[in-house]
Structure 1
Amino acid sequence: SSSIICRVTIGTWNVAGISPDDDLDIESWLCTEEPADVYIIGFQEVVPLNAGNVFGAENNRPIRKWESIVRRTLNKSWQPKSKHKCYSAPPSPVLRTCSVADLLSGEVDALPLDLTNEEYLEPTADCQFERRKKHPKYVRIVSKQMVGIYVSVWVRKRLRRHVNNLKVSPVGVGLMGYMGNKGSVSVSMSLYQSRMCFVCSHLTSGQKDGAEQRRNADVYEIIRRTRFSSSVLDADQPQTIPAHDQVFWFGDLNYRLNKLDSEVRKLVALKQWDELKNSDQLIRELRSGHVFDGWREGTINFPPTYKYEINSDRYVGEHPKEGEKRRSPAWCDRILWLGKGIKQLFYRRADLRLSDHRPVSSMFVVEVEVFDHRKLKKALNVNSAAVHPDIFLFDDEN
């Protein structure tokens, strides 16, 4: 087999149960100026987490709105206007000659790729990229809601036929340990021959001492209980999260900062992110091996994404109100990954004010294994072997 690179963009946003206006602009979140091949978009609190929504029938009315906004955004003609800083790969002969877009257009053969080159992480001034000849069109291939958690996967239309073995697995870890107000929705799929998993989760909230242990326990429970069913026809497909080649875990993970509220706010005002990160619960738990052992997260170079006043750039608590819960700013919204052949191009937040959280997104280049049927044909011809035509799953369509 050979390998190609695929650009994967992941977005996560806790929307606080607020239904969006139809014309909401989310381009800055999904960074559509440089189109990805695959988009995985995860929401938390897509509906309010009240008793009716947790225990009653699923409320999917907001889903239709979000889906319409995402579809419109991904399929819109590109216009450069973003002012957000981001990290992206510089122009490279490898990137230009063996991207998924090139492969799908039949311009190049699948080529192996060395993803160890650190040049991929060179910063660019902002999200201004070379315009493509034609903006790609995207189709939604799977979506799943569990109470407030909603995940959807979108791919280039011409890539759709190379996606197989789609499965979803929801796991509730909320009330009574099983309700869906907290938990995860995971998607398993094969892209060409690479087996990928995407886990969108909303973990236990709370700022009290020891609350991070409950979040750690949520992670272990999600890993333990997530199962992708298999049959005789796909017995070789992964049934658990760690069994995949590449895994991305994202969402409102709810980890907070172990620091006095006044100190947190002072460091936020000074933009002292490195100092603040020393107190971040997830970074500490990762380093100590208590959770997400072997997983990676990119460098956080943006302000805490929680908790804002709605439709404001002010954090809650800057002007304390009587009886108001004290909530320090924190990086609740995160994106992590596990597996080989993954390079992060950027990791950032967008300044959309709809919710008390800011959305976060990240783009990756992922090395994808491609079955080279031409080599197999040649080898089989040399051996004069008879082969059933159905073996060649990836022959070009007319």
Structure 2
Amino acid sequence: MFKLVDNYDKGRSLILENILFKLQNNNLLIDLLDYNLSGSLLGNVHGLLGLIEIQGSTYLITINQSVKITEGIYKIVKVNFYCLNSPNYDLIDSPELDFDYHPCLDIKKLVEFGNFYYSNSLDITNNALNSTSPPKNEFVWNKFLIENLINWKSNLETHQRTIIDQHNPFITVIQGAISVYPLPNHASLQVISRLSSKRAGTRFFSRGIDDDGQVANFVETETIFKDKNVTFTYNQIRGSVPLFWEQQGLQAFGQRTQITRPFQASKPAFEKHFYNLLQSYDAIHVLNLLGQKDHEVTLSDAYNAHLESLETDNLPITYSNLDFHSILRMSGHQSVIKQLDNHLYNGQGHGPTWSLIDNNTNQVIIRQHVVFRINCLDCLDRTNFVQDIFSKSRLKDFLQSTNSPYAQSESFWQAHRHLWAENGDALSKLYAGTGALNSSFTRTGKRTLAGLFSDATKSVTRAYVSNVTDKSKQSSIDMFLGNLPSQKPVEIYDPVLDIVRSDLNDRVTEYSSSRKISIHAGTYNVAGQIPTEDILPWLFPEGSEEPDIIVVGFQELVQLTPQQIMSTDTFPRQIWERFILETLKSRQDKTDEYIILRSEQVVGLALIVLIKQGLSKSIRSVEGAQKKTGLKGMSGNKGAAAIRLQYEDSTFCFIASHMAAGHSNIEERNNDYFTISNGLQFLKGKVPEDHDNIIWVGDFNYRIDLPYETATSLAYNDNYEELLSNDQLPRAMSRGIFKGYEEAPILFRPTYRYNFNSDVYDTSEKRRIPAYTDRILYKSKSNLYATRYATVDLRGSDHRPVYATFRTDIRKIDHMKRDQLAKEIQANILKTGPNETIEEKLMKLGITRRQQAEDNLPSPSNEKSNWWTDEEGNDFDFISDVFPKANEIEIPKVRRPPPPPPIKQKEKQNEVEHEDEDLINLSQEPLGSAETPPELEDAKSDVESKSNEQEKPIEPTDKPKKPRPPVPKATKPLSLKGQPVYPDSNDLE
């Protein structure tokens, strides 16, 4: 037990034994005390789960009550949350505090009712065979909360680490199920299941695999029989089918299963999953229990196709299939058990089928050779039934081989059934919200009427849970694991680590290499039309190289009717995907095939990323994000879709957007930019700005502020200079919209609005002014540059498609070299002279950043001046001065005040405003014209049809430090430090 003390000297600080936690200047300071500070005793705790920041406040999560399961292993019963900002925000069990809502309340419930276990003396993240190995990260559930504390401890001096290790207050926990049946003479029978934290969640929100090879509901289950001299162990694993697939909850016509990535795009993650398994187990036998139902057979067939592809790699992986439900319906449970005996015999091979450990020496006598990987659809009911049978078979063989009396003991096998029933119920409650089906048979060995009624009740309850409560539970799980888009770990002030990171960035070439890649990006508003034209000139312009990555954004895949904008129809996107793949396959002189890596869709907006087939093993961490902006964010008729990926060790973010329409709706479009750039969030707090390279395509809808006749005439005469000088987008960029983004020089006609199947601009009654609505912008922290920017003469829509080609470097890091260099840098920093402490050494290095923010604060206000205004009385952003290195995402956190005390949430009515029609009222134009000019009656019939395929390669050069908004004023771009740029509009007005 540890004492937790509340010390309130110049702000709140919490002391856990002799470890001080305190917030100062927005930094979390942790110090090891060699003296006692006075304060009120908050209580005795069993350990610290970690730190978490929620709604601007930082909390310590402590274990306040636990129950002993077996020697050295405890189950968490109660946790408390102590706020470092103010004691008013503590979430503790006290009759005086009756919060209907608190930001930590859902996590508290998750931990207290979520089967979490810990041990101060044993490593329960590993099975018995690997008890001396380092903790297995995939089974650690509080890594996000505790990792920075562990890193802080590792940077302490040796004697300080020794002091902390004596108490061991930093606890790692697992989730799963641990059941123990004690036997005479200190013997015991145990079933231990460890649930992976890597793709954790509830069943309809967590399916299939991710790009790192982690699968949903992955569980390692260990049957342990401890006798006086030896320990018997038998390991089995379960996990979701390792493909990219998903399944909706309650559906009118069954639970349709959808595979979301084709074979070649799924193969790298599939192979990675089994390679990872072979790092832990000698050999794998896959037993697939999926049946021949419509929603299972598609997934089962795809699974078997991938497993067949593994056979060519000569890996120790075998597989078999058993239609569990079909046999059960025809012949009952006993017939299933007979079939399982055959699968067990054929699958376990000729090596040892269990493991033995010498209790006296802790040496492994026999090691299990083949581990069964068993799956059904949810990996719950059928899987648990089969694992119980296999466990009994292997344990019975061992007991009979040693002439143990337990081999014939009915009470022993009744205990075994009970442990497996408890195991199945516990895992099922975590994933599906109810106990396992078939658990009555597992518990009693009989099928009874009461068991049938129980299973029916559980099925109804699961349907309710999956559609009502699972979403909020998934959010709690993601928050606890640090997977929510807005989350980042609580950073601990560590000057040594800051120096190490800075030095590593300066010496990146010492542990990494780089090479060039090419990217093709395109955007096309198809106006609800299906593909009928050859799009190869758009995807592969003449003279271009085969790009490594192809990024295409579509707008208006469907007609944006009131019925369509409230839901997403994926069928049009799938038509375009097939058309793209067929087009790429049909090209001549091809050297590479392309596969679709991922697609994202928001109503009529879609983003599709394709890669060369051979690059699939080099690309990982693929994620998608969406943001609706129509009707105040409720409708998807406008919005954005984004896909991020990591190519080797370089990160990319691709965005496709469709912004507010209407000639005069400039502010709405500007607001859409901020909503999208701030609202697109990926896992673990990643936002677009966190990536090395960003390419943003779309129908931005910025218009040209000229009368119809003038703009049309300029467009037909290819006078891009005058058109672009009146373009709304560069003006918006000069005011901070798309800050830091660049656009290649535009040397083509406006892309909107044409008559369908014509090269004539709009001659309808509305006569929309020609505009460059379709754009491609980019932003880079490295050396991403454009080599071509053009449009293509496809006439199936009222827009013309636009494309841009890019080149950049991708970096590959040798992580072993990097880690070694980091250790050398840290050792050099911490190297002290005789009788010199680390603190004294750091002072010599000039590390005084702890006081930096406080020293830079402005002077207090007085009668003559205010700290928030300059000499002329204008407001200025002092936060940027105080924190000069903070980026746009971090600064709002500095400004944000502490949250109010938890109160009941009140529902607020959302006001819905309809978007303005896409009409033009020239009397309200920013040009200030007093009279609307007469519009052309007919389009100029004598204008020669000129190809829009006009482009000018852009030579790769160094970028200027401060990119200017591209406002063309001359046909030939000027040059600044070798980079093509256009002069500011003010220079020529």
- TM-score band, normalised by shorter chain: 0.7 to 0.9
In 1: Cα distance, 2:820 partner to 2:615 partner: 26
Structure 1 unaligned residues grouped into runs of 5+: 80-133, 231-237, 381-398
| 2:558 pairs with one of 47, 50, 64 | 47
For residues 251 and 377 of structure 1, what CA distance do their matches in structure 2 show?
A: 41
2:592 equivalent in structure 1: 136
Partner of 2:580: 70
Q: Give secondary structure in 1 for the equivalent of 2:672.
A: helix
Radius of gyration: which is bigger? 2
Instruction: Answer yes or no: is the 8 Å Cα contact 2:538–2:803 preserved in 1.
Output: yes
**Does 2:727 match 1:295?**
no
- Report if aligned partners of 1:10, 1:40 keep a CA contact under 8 Å in 2: yes
1:31 aligns with 2:573: no
- Paired with 2:728 and 2:659, the residues of 1 have a C-alpha distance of 13
Post-superposition Cα deviations, 1:328-358, rounded to whole Å, max 9, x if no partner, equal 0000000000112111110000100010000
Letter in 1 for 2:798: D
Contact 1:16 1:46 in 2 (8 A): yes
The farther-off stretch of 259-268 and 332-341 is: 259-268
Q: What residue in structure 1 maps to residue 679 of structure 2?
A: 225
Deviation of residue 69 (structure 1)?
1.2
User: Does the 8 Å contact 1:77/1:135 carry over to 2?
Assistant: no
- For residues 120-135 of structure 1, the aligned pairs below 5 Å read 135=591
Q: 2:667 aligns with which of 213, 219, 229?
A: 213
| SS in structure 2 at match of 1:135 | coil
Q: Report the Cα distance in structure 2 between the residues aligned to 1:264 and 1:161, rounded to whole angstroms.
A: 49
Letter in 2 for 1:180: G
Query: How far does residue 372 in structure 1 lie from its aligned partner after superposition?
Result: 3.8
Deviation string 1:181-209 (CA, Å, 9 cap, x unpaired) is: 0000011111110111011000001012x
Query: Given the superposition, is the C-alpha separation of residues 77 and 378 from structure 1 closer, same or farther in structure 2, using an over 3 Å criterion?
Result: farther
Selected match of 2:617 from 152, 161, 181: 161
Alpha carbons 2:741, 2:777 under 8 Å: kept: yes
Following TM superposition, by how much is the alpha carbon of 1:229 offset from its aligned partner in structure 2, in angstroms?
A: 1.7
CA contact (8 A) 1:17 1:47 kept: yes
Q: Aligned partners of 1:375 and 1:224: how far apart in 2?
A: 36
Q: Which residue of 2 aligns with 1:274?
A: 721
* 3-state SS of 1:337 partner: strand
CA-CA distance at 1:177 after TM superposition: 3.0
8 Å Cα contact 2:753/2:769 also seen in 1: yes
Q: Distance between the aligned counterparts of 1:206 and 1:26, measured in 2?
A: 28
Q: How does 1:328-347 map to 2 (within 5 A)?
A: 328-339=769-780, 340-347=782-789
Give, in whole Å, the separation in 1 of the partners of 2:660 and 2:755: 21
Distance in structure 2 (CA, Å) of the matches to 1:372 and 1:282: 42
The whole-number CA distance in structure 2 between the counterparts of 1:364 and 1:243 is 20
Give the superposition deviation at 1:326: 3.0
State whether residues 248 and 336 of structure 1, in contact with CA within 8 Å, keep that contact through their aligned partners in structure 2: yes
Q: What is aligned with 1:350?
A: 792
Task: Give CA-to-partner distance per residue, 1:38-74, whole Å, 9 cap, x none.
Answer: 0011100011111121124x22221221011111222
Please tell me whether the aligned partners of residues 712 and 761 of structure 2 are also in contact (alpha carbons under 8 angstroms): no
Shift of 1:34: 2.0
Indicate conservation of the 8 Å contact 2:523/2:801, yes or no.
Answer: yes
**1:16/1:44 contact within 8 Å kept:** yes
1:376 deviation in Å? 6.7
Q: Which blocks of at least 5 consecutive residues in structure 2 are unaligned?
A: 1-511, 823-989
SS in 1 for 2:635: coil
Cα distance in 2 for residues equivalent to 1:77 and 1:13? 21
Where does residue 122 of structure 1 map in the other structure?
none
Against the structure 1 CA distance between its residues 275 and 67, is the aligned structure 2 distance closer, same or farther, given a 3 Å change threshold? same
Report what 1:87 is aligned to.
none
Partners of 2:696 and 2:605 in 1: CA distance: 13
1:372-397 alpha-carbon deviations (Å, 9 max, x no partner): 469679989xxxxxxxxxxxxxxxxx
Rounded Cα–Cα distance in structure 1 between residues aligned with 2:626 and 2:815: 35
Match of 1:315 among 761, 777, 781: 761
Q: Which amino acid aligns with 2:569?
A: N
The counterpart of 2:711, out of the listed 261, 264, 272, is 264
Is the 1:192–1:369 contact (alpha carbons within 8 Å) kept by the matching residues of 2?
A: yes
How much does 1:261 deviate?
A: 1.5
Is the Cα–Cα contact under 8 Å of residues 793 and 800 in structure 2 kept in the other structure?
Answer: yes
Secondary structure (helix, strand or coil) at the match of 2:538 reads helix
The one of 526, 542, 547 equivalent to 1:15 is 526
Classify the secondary structure of the residue corresponding to 2:696: strand
Query: Alpha-carbon deviation of 1:299?
Result: 0.3
The answer to whether 1:189 aligns with 2:645 is: yes
* Residue 61 in structure 1 maps to residue 571 in structure 2: yes
2:874 is the alignment partner of 1:363: no
Equivalence for 1:106: none
Q: What SS does the aligned partner of 2:689 have? A: coil
Aligned pairs for 1:221-260 (under 5 A) are 221-230=675-684, 239-260=686-707
Q: Note closer, same or farther for the CA distance 1:371–1:76 as it changes in structure 2 (3 Å cut).
A: farther
SS, match of residue 347 in structure 1: strand
**Aligned-partner residue type, residue 366 of structure 1:** T
TM-score by length of 2: 0.30
Mapped to 1, the partners of 2:574 and 2:687 lie a distance apart of 30
Give the corresponding residue for 1:109: none
Partner SS, residue 180 of structure 1: strand
| CA separation of 1:376 and 1:243: change in aligned 2, threshold 3 A | closer
Deviation larger for 69-78 or 143-152: 69-78
The root-mean-square deviation of aligned C-alpha atoms, in Å, is: 2.0
- Paired residue secondary structure (1:344): strand
Per-residue CA deviations over 1:356-376 (Å, capped at 9, x if unaligned) read 000000110011111246967
Distance across 2 between alignment mates of 1:242 and 1:358: 29
1:305 positional shift? 0.3
Matched position secondary structure for 1:198: strand
Conservation of the 8 A alpha-carbon contact between 2:518 and 2:806:
yes
* 1:62 partner letter: P
TM, length-normalised to structure 1: 0.74
**1:280–1:140 distance in 2 versus 1, CA, 3 Å:** same
Q: In 2, distance between residues paired with 1:61 and 1:334?
A: 26
Separation (CA, whole Å) in 1 of partners of 2:793 and 2:602: 26
Amino acid at match of 2:795: R
Q: Which residue of 2 aligns with 1:82?
A: none
For the residues of structure 1 that align with 2:814 and 2:580, how far apart are their CA atoms?
34
SS for the counterpart of 1:250 is: strand
CA distance in 1, matches of 2:661, 2:820: 57
Corresponding pairs, count: 309
Deviations 1:125-152 (A, max 9, x none): xxxxxxxxx5111111101111000111
